[in-house]
Chain A
Amino acid sequence: AQSVAQPEDQVNVAEGNPLTVKCTYSVSGNPYLFWYVQYPNRGLQFLLKYITGDNLVKGSYGFEAEFNKSQTSFHLKKPSALVSDSALYFCAVRDYGDKLIFGTGTRLQVFP
């Protein structure tokens, strides 16, 4: 079965510093990987996805993610964090039968 893991429950970073939120995956076949963000008391917003092609994927709000097949990782990155980036981030993989399987989530806290 397809799965993703987010090893960090929380990531703290100072505003203006680069940020990384980690995700590793376990899939059979080609991975279809996604990142979503959830602001407090809101639904999930799509950030970016990897389907095929370039390993560096650019998404919304200045976020990008690097697909690394050898390390089975799909880490989310941003060169300069904003306080407004503070939210809950979910990595997900598309499973067979139309399912989206989520990681446990990582809470990003950006301090002024």
Chain B
Amino acid sequence: DTEVTQTPKHLVMGMTNKKSLKCEQHMGHRAMYWYKQKAKKPPELMFVYSYEKLSINESVPSRFSPECPNSSLLNLHLHALQPEDSALYLCASCPDGNSGNTIYFGEGSWLTVV
């Protein structure tokens, strides 16, 4: 089983709202990721958690706040977003940081900021 589950599948939020995206995996993977993907473009890395600690932040604006409550869960807290933040947000996981390991992606959360 290589399943990464993301909720919600679709989210519409206003620019003053606070919302969260959630990601869960039960494969025992110790690395988890958030990617952002705009239409017809490749995914762009936002954050990496390794063994529940933030290891990479790709200079993401502070209106995006990641959280890793435990080894199975990854959240992305959203606050005061802009319309240009509308995109597909992909969560992914990997057994660990070994470069040969496969990174598995969820189905994504479609975010629309109005």
Contacts and interface: CB of A to CB of B under 8 A. Distances in A.
Interface string A68-102: 00000000000000000000101000101111101
Nearest to A32: B99
Interface in A39-68: 41-46, 49, 51-52
Given A44-B43, A46-B104, A98 B90 contact: no
Contact of B100 (A44, A51, A100, A102): A51
Interface in B42-72: 42-43, 45, 48, 50, 55-56
Nearest to A29: B99
Interface string B78-105: 0000000000001010100101101111
Given A44-B43, A104-B42, A98 B108 contact: no
Contact of A44 (B41, B56, B99, B105): B105
Contact of B90 (A44, A52, A107): A44
A88 B40 CA distance: 8
Interface string B17-33: 00000000000000101
Nearest to B50: A98
Contacts of A43: 4, 6, 90, 105-108
Contacts of B31: 98
Query: What is the interface residue range for chain A against chain B?
Result: 20 to 34
Contacts of B105: 36, 43-46
B108 A102 contact: no
Contacts of B4: 43
B107 to A, nearest CB: 4
A34 B42 CA distance: 14
Interface of B: 2, 4, 6, 31, 33, 40-43, 45, 48, 50, 55-56, 90, 92, 94, 97, 99-100, 102-108, 110
